[in-house]
Structure 1
C-alpha cells in the first residue's frame, strides 16, 4: 500500500491502481512496479480507449504492450455530461482543469463508471513469451498510466472515449443551455416548431439587418431602456448602482487558467516552465489584490465610489 501511494500522489491515480488490485492482480502488479521505477517503459501512447507502449525486457528488442479499455458509447457520454453539468461544482472544477473528488458519483448516477468495473473491461496483449496476464511488462505500463493520470486527470476520460477538448466543449454547451443561453439548433428542429434566431441558420453569424430585427429580452425587461434626457444626470450612477458593492477575494481555484490549459508542449522543459508560470501567476494575483485596496478599500470589498 505504501509503495503504491508513493508512486502517485492524487486520489484519481491511486484509485486507478486500487481498481486494478481489486481484480486480484496485486502480486502481478508488484512485479511490474520495479520495471516502471527503473524506466523500462520506453514509450507510452494514449488514444481513445487504447494504450500502446514499448517496454524493455531481458531481450535486446523491446516488447510491445497493448491495452484496450471499453470506451463509453456516445449516448452514455451524453448522460454523463448531463450529470456533470447539473452540478455547478463539478463543472467549475473540470473547466478549471481539476478532477472533482466525488466525480464517481456523477458516473454512478448515470449507471456508469469512470474506472473499469471488471477485468473483462480491459483487453491486453504483450509480445513477450510470459503467459501470465498481466505480465510484468503490462503491469509496468499500468503503473506508468497511473503516473500520467497523476499529472493529467483528463487522460482518464480519454481512455473512456472523450478527449479533453471534446469533453469541456460539451460541458460548456450544456451549462449554457441550463443557464438559458443560446445553443446550436440541430438540423430539422425548425420543422418541429423550433425556429433558430435570424442569421444563425447553418452556423452563420447574424447580419446587421437581423440584429436590428431581434429584440433581446432579459427577464421580461428590454435590454435597451430609454436614456435619460437630462445631460447633468447622464453620468451619475442612479438608484440601481447606489448600493453596488464589489467583493475582491482570492479565486476558489488557484491558478485556474494554467490548470485549464494544461501542461505546455515543451517536452522535458515543460515542468520547469510550468512552475515558473505558477510563480508569476501567484505574484501577479498578490500584487493585484494589494493594489485593489491601496486607495482606502476595505477587506470586505465594499466599493468606495
Structure 2
C-alpha cells in the first residue's frame, strides 16, 4: 500500500485508540484500559516503522469522490476507466522525462511498457484504487525509476494546483508538452464527471477538490500545443546518441540549430554506419518538427525535434 496512505490509516486508528482511553474510568488496572494501551503502543510502533521504511517500488492510491461515486463501494465504470487510463498517460510521460530527455508530443513513447501500473487493491472505507508496479523477486536497495516517476508526477500536479499565475507559466514552460497534454486529459475527465480526487504516494500526496479541479482545468484550457513540420537545408554537425540531440548548421542562418532527435533516427544513425557516413559533416535536408507551447496566445516554450535526414545535392 502507498506509504503515506498506510500512515494515514494508522494515525486514524491511533486517534481512535486514544479516544477510547480518554473515556475509560481512571482505574489503572482495568482490563479494557490495558488492552487499549497495548493497542496504542503497537500503533505508535507501526507508525514509526512506516515513517522510516518506504518501499522502493512504485505504489500510489487514487481515491475518488463526487458525482461518479455512490456510497463507499460503487463507482461508474466509464469514469474509473477514463480516470485510470489518463493517469497512466501522466506516469508514462513522467517516466520518459526523468532524464530530462525530450519526447514526441504524439505517438508511442519509447519505454512506455516500463511505466505500467497494476491495480493491486481497493482503498477500504472510500472508493479508490491502489496502483503498484510489478515488484521484482529481489528487494531493491534504491527506488525504481517508476517510483520516482510516480512521485514526480504527484509533485508536478501539486505545483500546478498551488502555483500563482506567474509560477504556473514557469512550470508549464519547463514541462514536456506530452506531460502537459496528459494532465489536461486527466483533469478534464475529473471536471466533466464532477469528481474529486486524492492521490497518495509513498512520499507525495495531493487533494483535488471541486474548486481545485475547476481552476486547474480552466488554466490548462488556456494552454495550447502547436506543431509545425519544417524542412531545412544545412550541414549535419552530429547526432549525440546518449543525449538524443542533434546539431545542425543551417544554410543562410547564423549560429547552430540544436534540439532533440527521434528514437528511430538515433537508432538508425548508430546502427547503420553507411547512413551516418552519408550525412555527418555533409550537406543534408533536415526534416524537423517544431512544437510550441502557448498560454493565452503567449509563447512559453519551443521544442525542435529532428525526425529524419537525407543527403542534399548542392547545385
Please confirm whether the aligned pair reaches a TM-score higher than 0.5, indicating the same fold.
no
Q: Structure 1 or 2: larger helix share? A: 1
Structure number with higher relative contact order (C-alpha < 8 Å, ≥ 6 residues apart)? 1
TM-score of the pair, normalised by structure 1? 0.21
TM-score of the pair, normalised by structure 2? 0.21
Q: Structure 1 or 2: larger strand share? A: 2
